[in-house]
Amino acid sequence: MPKTIADVMTRDPVTAHPETPLKEVIQILAERRISGLPVVDQAGKLVGVISETDLMWQESGVTPPAYIMILDSVIYLENPSRYEKDLHKALGQTAGEVMNHDPVVTIAPDKPLSAAAKLMHDRNVQRLPVVDKAGLLIGILTRGDIIRAMAAEQA
């Protein structure tokens, strides 16, 4: 019988809240040697994910968009709204300000592990939050979890 996500996922994963200070998020990632945290609201509903990539803006900063001036008009060569988003990440102080605000790719616990592997590969994600029907976070599945499950099957 094929393994399901519930068989392999990490239950009760470490999480952050939108108001969690970045210093705390960074400390958790470093101490636990993980690359990202689900961000949940007070009810436990998943609202986002904060990853090492999101935190890199704190160190790297942002570069204003390129523009040209023609007849006292500014013409941006790049999308200025992207700059505002990047600037917000660079200056943010909480998980909610810095986390990626794109819709989070999630999966249900009863799905086969093969479906999770395909989804992770197709979407190029490192981790999949596992949510119940109400959208509450119940676990997390990482690429490492899938590899360990594959190794256990071979043993």
pLDDT tens string 84-131? 666 555 567 899 988 887 889 999 999 999 999 999 999 998 899 999
Share of the chain above pLDDT 70, in %: 79
**Domains defined along the chain, listed by start:** 5-154 (3.10.580.10)
pLDDT at 137 > cutoff 80: yes
pLDDT of residue 76: 60
CA angle, residues 128, 150, 48, in degrees to nearest 5: 5
pLDDT of residue 74: 66
pLDDT of residue 25: 92
pLDDT of residue 138: 96
Higher pLDDT, 36 or 90: 36
| CB contact set of 72 (below 8 Å; sequence gap of 6+) | none
pTM assigned to the model: 0.76
Confidence of residue 136 (pLDDT cuts 50, 70, 90): very high
Confidence of residue 54 (pLDDT cuts 50, 70, 90): confident
pLDDT of residue 59: 63
- Check: CB of residue 42 under 8 Å from CB of residue 64: no
Averaged confidence pLDDT in the chain: 84
CA distance linking residue 119 with residue 106, whole number of Å: 9
